[in-house]
Amino acid sequence: MKKITRNILGLILFAVVGGAVSGGIPKVLMASETAWSPTEARTVYTGPPYSTRQRYNVLPSVVRLPDGTLVALVEPKKLIFIRSKDGGKSWTEPYVGVSQKENFTLNALGVRRDGCLVGVFSQANENLGTSSVEKRTEKLPDGREGQTYTGYRYSGDLYLGYSKDQGKTWTAGKQIDVSPMISAWTWTMGRVLELDNGTLIVPVGGYLSLEDMDGIWLSAGVVRSDDEGATWSFSVLGRGNPSNWTIFSEPSLAQLDDGTLVAMMRSEDRVTRSSPGDPRGTRYGLHRATSKDGGKTWTSPAMSIPNATHCSLASLADGVLLCGYHSHNPRLGLSGDGGLNWYANMLWSIEDPAADWGYYTSVEVVDENTAVMLIKETPATNIIRACLLRRQP
């Protein structure tokens, strides 16, 4: 593939109009709307060539250890990592982690208070895309049409894992109980959080009933453990609803300075044709929910960034929330009120500013004036690029 030199051309600012917010959403700590600007993006990892069907073999997930080391998972199935000791300016050669869970995929990373890495390992079996899954269009009495499915089945197990050597070796932990979900999974942008009191919180997507699974009505939630993974409790973030043709998936979490937890999740509208007065796409975007009690209860999901998908979150040192997401092209959003409103977003500009050249983005804080972003390039399936985000005076 011809190598294209990509440069950050500048900061593109525009308002992102938030959706209606349901009653009872608690106020979050307001932060000053500071300006941040990205540096030039460059390649930090190139894996072997993969086919289109293997496009998810290379996905970025970056976390910061207490000593400042950045550890990035770049191939979840093969447990391949890179790391940086200088705040993301340079990265090591790739190294392979060793796990007691053979043939498991490492889907999510986090950092414990003691400085060790925590991850979620999964082993899944699904029949999506096979002849047993039927896709069809259903017409309702009000004139709407939407995509429906039958025959889908998914099963899988989730386990905690721990590493004290920056991902080189992993010790298996407890199995994660996702009930009342009947099956669930994690993903690379869904960072595991440990609260100050030791509570572990894992964002998950999955199904709350066999009927939901049969029709692929996805829901998003979190599971919490207060006893090192011995027992778990579940809270819904967004429930898939066949009555309004909406599904929720791929949740990401961040904690604000006042302790508020913010969740952003992908939502999709399966309506293919709407009735008059019900325009298609009004539910397609990133929905937001918040929690004031450590993830036990959450506000109802409300639209935060329309027409956007698969995001990651980080709370910057000045209290601003950073969101890396995709909306026709890769973007970086900033919010001073915990994602309720977005006062700016940055387009990863190249020779063609509107080009759709990257998808999944992982963001993390480096220090009080710097953040780091890793992004999976597209249409390439094996390249990860990175840039730094600098706070402006």
Q: Say how far apart CA 230 and CA 242 lie, in whole Å.
A: 34
- Distances 52 to 135, 169, 298, 329, 381 between C-alpha atoms, Å: 22, 30, 37, 19, 7
Q: Is the pLDDT of residue 4 over 50?
A: no
Q: Give me the mean pLDDT over the 152-163 stretch.
A: 95
Q: Say how far apart CA 240 and CA 242 lie, in whole Å.
A: 7
pLDDT of residue 154: 92
Please report whether residue 177 resides in a domain: yes
Please report whether residue 277 resides in a domain: yes
pLDDT of residue 353: 66
Please report whether residue 8 resides in a domain: no
- Distances 170 to 80, 120, 251, 357 between C-alpha atoms, Å: 13, 11, 25, 34
Task: With beta carbons less than 8 A apart as the criterion, state whether 311 and 4 touch.
Answer: no
- Going by pLDDT thresholds of 50, 70 and 90, the confidence category of residue 23 is very low
Q: What are phi and psi of 351, to 5 degrees?
A: -55, -40
**pLDDT tens digits, one per residue of 163-199:** 999 999 999 999 999 999 999 999 999 999 999 999 9
Closest CA to 313 of 160, 223, 201: 201
Q: Say how far apart CA 351 and CA 374 lie, in whole Å.
A: 19
What order do you get walking across the sheet with 134-139 strand by strand? 134-139, 145-150, 271-273
- The domain containing residue 270 runs over which residues? 36-391
What is the four-CA torsion angle of 351, 352, 356, 357, rounded to 10 degrees? -10
In this prediction the pTM is 0.89
- Distances 285 to 106, 167, 263, 268, 339 between C-alpha atoms, Å: 26, 33, 13, 7, 13
Please report whether residue 317 resides in a domain: yes
Range from 23-37, 120-134, 334-348 carrying the lowest mean pLDDT: 23-37
pLDDT of residue 391: 94
Task: With beta carbons less than 8 A apart as the criterion, state whether 393 and 56 touch.
Answer: no
Please report whether residue 4 resides in a domain: no
For residue 141, the domain's CATH number is: 2.120.10.10
Please report whether residue 326 resides in a domain: yes
Q: Say how far apart CA 364 and CA 238 lie, in whole Å.
A: 25
Q: What secondary structure, in 3-state letters, does the chain show?
A: CCCCCCCCCCCCCCCECCCCCCCCCCCCCCCCCCCEEECCCEEEEECCCCCHHHCCCCCCEEEECCCCCEEEEEECCCCEEEEECCCCCCCCCCEECEECCCCCEEEEEEECCCCCEEEEEEEEEECCCCCCCEEEEEECCCCCEEEEEECCCEEEEEEEEEECCCCCEEEEEEECCCCCCCEEECCCCCCEEECCCCCEEEEEEEECCHHHHHHCCCEEEEEEECCCCCCCEEEEEECCECCCCEEEEEEEEEECCCCCEEEEEEEEECEEECCCCCCCCCCCEEEEEEECCCCCCCCCCEEEEECCEEEEEEECCCCCEEEEEECCCEEEEEECCCCCCECEEEECCCCCCCCCCEEEEEEEEEECCEEEEEEEECCCCCEEEEEEEEECC
pLDDT of residue 279: 56
- Going by pLDDT thresholds of 50, 70 and 90, the confidence category of residue 132 is confident
**pLDDT tens digits, one per residue of 284-297:** 899 999 999 999 99
Please report whether residue 275 resides in a domain: yes
Q: Which two tokens stand for residue 344?
A: 């700016």
- Going by pLDDT thresholds of 50, 70 and 90, the confidence category of residue 142 is confident
Please report whether residue 347 resides in a domain: yes
Q: Give me the mean pLDDT over the 41-48 stretch.
A: 94
Q: Is the pLDDT of residue 50 over 80?
A: yes
Higher pLDDT pick, 28 / 79: 79
- Going by pLDDT thresholds of 50, 70 and 90, the confidence category of residue 41 is confident
Residues for the chain: how many in total?
Answer: 393
Q: Say how far apart CA 215 and CA 27 lie, in whole Å.
A: 36
> What is the number of structural domains in the chain?
1
Mean pLDDT over the full length of the chain: 88
In terms of DSSP bridges, do strands 117-126 and 95-96 run parallel, antiparallel, or are they unpaired?
unpaired
